[in-house]
Amino acid sequence: MRFFGHSVPLWRPLLAVAVTYSAAQVLVQWSLGPVARYAMLSGMSALLFLVMVITVIYGVRTFAKDLYGEMLFFAALISGICVLNALKFMKLLDGGLDALQMDRNFQLVFYIYMSSLATVLPPSIVWLVLRRLTDDLRNLAARDPLTQLLNRRGLTEALQRYFNSRKAVPAHLLMVDIDHFKRINDTYGHPIGDAVLCHVAEVLRTTVRGGDLAGRFGGEEFVVICLDTDVLGVMHLAERLRAAIENQAIQVTGSDHPLHCTITVGVSRHFANAHVLEDAMREADAALYRGKAAGRNRIELAPS
């Protein structure tokens, strides 16, 4: 079972905790009486809710960054019940069970809050799960299933968001094509061909700059959109990609000889909005084919 992409404990550890805690409750009731048992319940509840708050706040900074407001809302709700259980623990130690009579203001506040929490929390959790599932489906629709790079739809949407932002500046498009990919498929088989595609995708992912966009549009063609840089910066990035692919070997199952491949890169002129993406792709594609005709394993820039 997984939550936000992380494994969570299943029935065995939960059962062990439940049995241990139940045994401890019986032992405390038998040896120290009901006040100690209720105090133990309140104290353990406060600690449990504190751990939950810490986990939620940790999630805001790690696995649930896109749910910042929602996670803080849950943290606030759980913090309230944590504080109330801590106060209940102290009241039990100070005044025993008499301090928790139902006509006391504290008990009134405690049960009103618990009732409100029981009303608000379940639908909120259902909404959170549905939100996560919707986000996962949206992400799947925007990704190439083999390489996990952006597909055409995902790259277009990301580029549109970029150009809609205030900091947007002109971009350049790189069309990347694996040289002699059909020969690789015919010689080694499609599984090795898929491994080559994933290898190239990983090089793109680790070589492009943080804000750049990398995608696969099908076959052996990849696209990189370089944001906020000039022609020299784009050509430098293209050369880094070309050299990285050329110099890295791919291990082939059942063969003692690693596989090497190369790429040809076509670079478009700069463009300033997502509506001319197709024009930029045609420019880069034309430059790519000039590079193929000139011998492959090279970079070709579209004419100004």
Q: Dump pLDDT digits (tens) for 138-194.
A: 888 899 999 999 999 999 999 999 888 878 788 999 999 999 999 999 988 899 999
**Given pLDDT bands bounded at 50, 70 and 90, which one contains residue 92?**
confident
Q: What is the pLDDT of residue 295?
A: 93
**What whole-number distance in Å separates Cα of residue 147 and Cα of residue 174?**
18
- Three-state DSSP at 211 gives coil
**pLDDT(286) > 90:** yes
At 267, give phi and psi (nearest 5°).
-115, 130
Q: Exposure of 43 by Cβ count < 10 A (0-12 exposed, 13-18 middle, 19+ buried)?
A: middle
Average pLDDT, the chain: 87
Q: Which residues are catalytic?
A: 220
**Given pLDDT bands bounded at 50, 70 and 90, which one contains residue 269?**
very high
The distance of Cα 233 from the centroid of its chain, to the nearest Å, equals 28
**pLDDT(59) > 90:** no
**pLDDT(69) > 70:** yes
Q: What is the pLDDT of residue 9?
A: 57
Q: What is the pLDDT of residue 103?
A: 64
Q: What is the pLDDT of residue 228?
A: 86
**pLDDT(106) > 80:** yes
Q: What is the pLDDT of residue 174?
A: 96
Strand partners, 150: 143, 215
**pLDDT(246) > 60:** yes
**Given pLDDT bands bounded at 50, 70 and 90, which one contains residue 252?**
confident
Is pTM beyond 0.85 here?
no
Which is nearest to 241 in space by CA: 205, 202, 286, 207?
Answer: 207
| Highest mean pLDDT (candidates 12-21, 99-108, 295-304) | 295-304
Q: What is the pLDDT of residue 181?
A: 93
> In 10 A of CB 81, how many CB atoms?
20
Higher pLDDT, 5 or 180: 180
**What whole-number distance in Å separates Cα of residue 194 and Cα of residue 294?**
27
